[in-house]
Chain A
Amino acid sequence: MTVVLETIGLYRRFGGLTAASDVSLRLERGARHALIGPNGAGKTTLINLLTGVLRPTAGRILLDGADITRLRPDQRVCRGLVRTFQINQLFSELTPLMTVGLAVSRRLGLDRQLWRRIGSRGAVIDESVAVLERFDLIGVMNQPTAALPYGRQRLLEIAAAIACAPRVLLLDEPAAGVPEAERDGILAGVAALPQDVTVLLIEHDMDLVFRFAERISVLVNGAVLVEGTAAEIAADDRVREVYLGRSDHG
């Protein structure tokens, strides 16, 4: 199986604090991989390093074999490395249709256009509507994002990422803050992803993790403690120690 995303000896230091320590990950195409660890373990830092929001102190990142360590965040997205944010990062005044439409326009290479009105091309509309339908956002697609309930906003957060047609998708706690009832909608949206899309999921909700992941990496204090299949991790004593008494932390 081909390795799609790989980090080699990734380090990130903030002064005296080492947020990422010698992290070497390998994700194969189509992997359903979860990253777990206690609060402050450096999971979001790792996502920020992967997406280019943070520059590593040392180490390299390879996407499809190409070194992307020096690329800007938007360049990485254009190569198929897409993320969602733990805290919604949306456009409060734009509608879901506009948000997804913008993502699709970019994907089709149309975002630099100065002249034609956005949405004048059928392809953009069709694709945007398809994505919105997958996440049950058609009903609210013309309302400003700020007016939507939190659960819907979270769905939009993920829909926007999906609209970028990712090859590798990094989900940063997609279910965070979402009421129990709506979590299934999120999981369904993620499960419906094509098989060849590689997904890295960060989550605290162990239920979600074990329903989704085939392989799991455990991050503690910036370093990978252990990595293995879901069954191996569930049985690992070290992991249990780290999570003592916290098997279902939401």
Chain B
Amino acid sequence: MTPAESAAAALAAAARWRPAEYLFWALALASWFLLPDRHLLLNEAFIFGLFAVSLDLILGYGGIVSLGHAAFFGFGAYVAGLLAKAGFGEPVLALLAAGAASMVLGFATSFLVLRGSDLTRIMVTLSVSLVLFELANRMTSLTGGADGLQGIVMAPVLGRFEFDIFGHVAYGYTLAVVFVLFLAARRVVYSPFGWSVRAVKGNALRTAALGIPVTFRLVGIYALAACYAGIAGALLAETTEFVSLDVLTLQRSAEVLLMLVIGGTGYLYGGLIGALAFKVMQDWLAELTPQYWQFWIGFLLVLLVVVGRERVFAAPQALLRMARR
């Protein structure tokens, strides 16, 4: 092979679909058919998976530590819920609207977030989510305040598939949406834009020295991540037909961070895997200690960091690395 051919081959190989990826999605699809009584759990798992993937875009690829990503998740949820209550109950349209609205919010807040150090970023992202929480809390006539947004009735998906109480349609819908969005994210991540974002995370000084505008790239990925998070929130609102203030709390932001960390950052599937693992664990532990679930999350976080993420996940990550070849 000439150098040019081998170079082209190397770049193509980096972006090529691995067998493990096909397996993952095949299993996901199979789960719809084979695990009908788990649909409600799986639905939530994939919704939070999408939420975690959106966080991976800014954290794993962009290097931005955010403690307030729930702002976009909650915003999307409320937008979708309110649209439904206002009579625009077609799920897909509401989804798109929520995504667009969240993207605008993300774009607007990105300029605050990208100034200053890590600490200022943590502060600002946290504050944005808290401001939204306050807003939602107070505008009770609009959002239902602490009681949550109730009375959401979704129209059938695409006019044909009506949501049922067992979550069959919901899970199928969520799975389809997450799959499509994941494909798109995967393309973005391997595009020149995606690589330039990764470059910014790796060495912002060098990236600027190559002529790439650092701030614009980060704004771009931040807005995209906000859009995805908003869609995840909208999915939650649509499939559960309820939106509570919980979607905007620090708790949510911390949980999604933990999910992503469990699954691993920087390769997109980490968000999905982490969310699945987390939800399964939560389901199991909630039966054992319903009230003090929060304690165990905290314990897990502390343990994870003190022992060292690399060491805890050494075995699973080695497996994943092999699967990625």
Contact A132 B3 (CB under 8 A): yes
Convert B227-255 into 0s and 1s, putting 1 for each residue whose CB lies closer than 8 angstroms to a CB of A: 00000000000000000000000000000
Q: Is B139 an interface residue (CB 8 A)?
A: no
Q: Is A198 an interface residue (CB 8 A)?
A: no
Task: List, in ascending order, chain B residues with CB within 8 A of A207's CB.
Answer: none
Q: Is B35 an interface residue (CB 8 A)?
A: no
Q: Is A237 an interface residue (CB 8 A)?
A: no
CB-contacts of B170-217 with A (<8 A): 187-188, 190-196, 198-199, 202-203, 205-214
Contact B10 A105 (CB under 8 A): no
Q: Is B112 an interface residue (CB 8 A)?
A: no
Given A111-B196, A118-B195, A119-B8, A89 contacting B203 (CB threshold 8 A): yes
Task: List, in ascending order, chain A residues with CB within 8 A of B30's CB.
Answer: none
Contact A114 B10 (CB under 8 A): no
Contact B202 A102 (CB under 8 A): no
Task: List, in ascending order, chain A residues with CB within 8 A of B198's CB.
Answer: 94
Contact B7 A141 (CB under 8 A): yes
Which chain A residue shows the least CB distance to B8?
A125
Q: Is B11 an interface residue (CB 8 A)?
A: yes
Contact B211 A107 (CB under 8 A): yes
Q: Is A217 an interface residue (CB 8 A)?
A: no
Indicate which residue in A93, A120, A164 contacts B211 across the interface (CB closer than 8 Å). A164
Contact A119 B12 (CB under 8 A): yes
Task: List, in ascending order, chain B residues with CB within 8 A of A73's CB.
Answer: 208-209
A128 to B8, CA, bound (A): 10
Which chain A residue shows the least CB distance to B214?
A74
A110 to B2, CA, bound (A): 24
Which chain B residue shows the least CB distance to A84?
B209
Task: List, in ascending order, chain A residues with CB within 8 A of B187's CB.
Answer: 114-115, 117
Task: List, in ascending order, chain B residues with CB within 8 A of A37's CB.
Answer: none
CB-contacts of B3-41 with A (<8 A): 3-4, 7-8, 10-12, 15
CB-contacts of A35-66 with B (<8 A): 51, 53
Contact B11 A102 (CB under 8 A): no
Shortest CB distance B154–A (Å): 31
Given A102-B195, A118-B195, A89 contacting B4 (CB threshold 8 A): no
Contact B208 A74 (CB under 8 A): yes
CB-contacts of A122-166 with B (<8 A): 122, 125-126, 128-129, 132-133, 138, 141-142, 160-161, 164
Which chain A residue shows the least CB distance to B190?
A117
Q: Is A186 an interface residue (CB 8 A)?
A: no
Contact B209 A114 (CB under 8 A): no
Contact B209 A111 (CB under 8 A): no
Task: List, in ascending order, chain A residues with CB within 8 A of B193's CB.
Answer: 111-114
Convert A67-95 into 0s and 1s, putting 1 for each residue whose CB lies closer than 8 angstroms to a CB of B: 00000111101100011010001111111
Contact B192 A113 (CB under 8 A): yes
Task: List, in ascending order, chain B residues with CB within 8 A of A102's CB.
Answer: 192, 195-196, 199, 210, 212
Q: Is A101 an interface residue (CB 8 A)?
A: yes
Given A111-B192, A113-B192, A118-B195, A101 contacting B209 (CB threshold 8 A): no
A56 to B191, CA, bound (A): 36
Indicate which residue in B4, B195, B209, B213 contacts A98 across the interface (CB closer than 8 Å). B195
Shortest CB distance B307–A (Å): 24
Q: Which among A93, A113, A117, A164 has the greatest number of chain B C-beta atoms within 10 A?
A: A117
Q: Which among A90, A98, A105, A111 has the greatest number of chain B C-beta atoms within 10 A?
A: A111
Indicate which residue in A103, A114, A142 contacts B188 across the interface (CB closer than 8 Å). A114
Contact A160 B210 (CB under 8 A): yes
Indicate which residue in B191, B202, B212 contacts A117 across the interface (CB closer than 8 Å). B191
Contact A74 B212 (CB under 8 A): yes
Task: List, in ascending order, chain A residues with CB within 8 A of B10's CB.
Answer: 95, 97, 141-142
Which chain A residue shows the least CB distance to B200?
A91
A90 to B211, CA, bound (A): 14
Contact A106 B210 (CB under 8 A): yes
Indicate which residue in A77, A93, A129 contacts B210 across the interface (CB closer than 8 Å). A77
Indicate which residue in A51, A53, A106 contacts B212 across the interface (CB closer than 8 Å). A106
Q: Is A211 an interface residue (CB 8 A)?
A: no
Given A111-B193, A111-B196, A93 contacting B202 (CB threshold 8 A): yes
Indicate which residue in A72, A107, A161 contacts B208 across the interface (CB closer than 8 Å). A72
A209 to B160, CA, bound (A): 76
Q: Which among B192, B193, B198, B213 has the greatest number of chain A C-beta atoms within 10 A?
A: B192
Contact B208 A77 (CB under 8 A): yes
Contact B202 A94 (CB under 8 A): yes
Contact B191 A83 (CB under 8 A): no
Q: A residues bordering B, Cβ < 8 Å?
A: 51, 53, 72-75, 77-78, 82-83, 85, 89-95, 97-98, 101-103, 105-107, 110-120, 122, 125-126, 128-129, 132-133, 138, 141-142, 160-161, 164
Q: Give 21 pairs: A residue, B residue, CB < 8 Å, sorted on A.
A: A74-B210, A74-B211, A74-B212, A77-B210, A89-B205, A89-B206, A101-B11, A101-B195, A102-B196, A103-B211, A106-B192, A113-B192, A114-B187, A114-B194, A115-B187, A116-B191, A118-B192, A118-B194, A119-B12, A125-B7, A133-B3
9 closest Cβ pairs, A-B complex: A119-B11, A77-B211, A91-B202, A89-B206, A73-B208, A105-B192, A74-B208, A78-B211, A111-B192
Q: B residues bordering A, Cβ < 8 Å?
A: 3-4, 7-8, 10-12, 15, 187-188, 190-196, 198-199, 202-203, 205-214
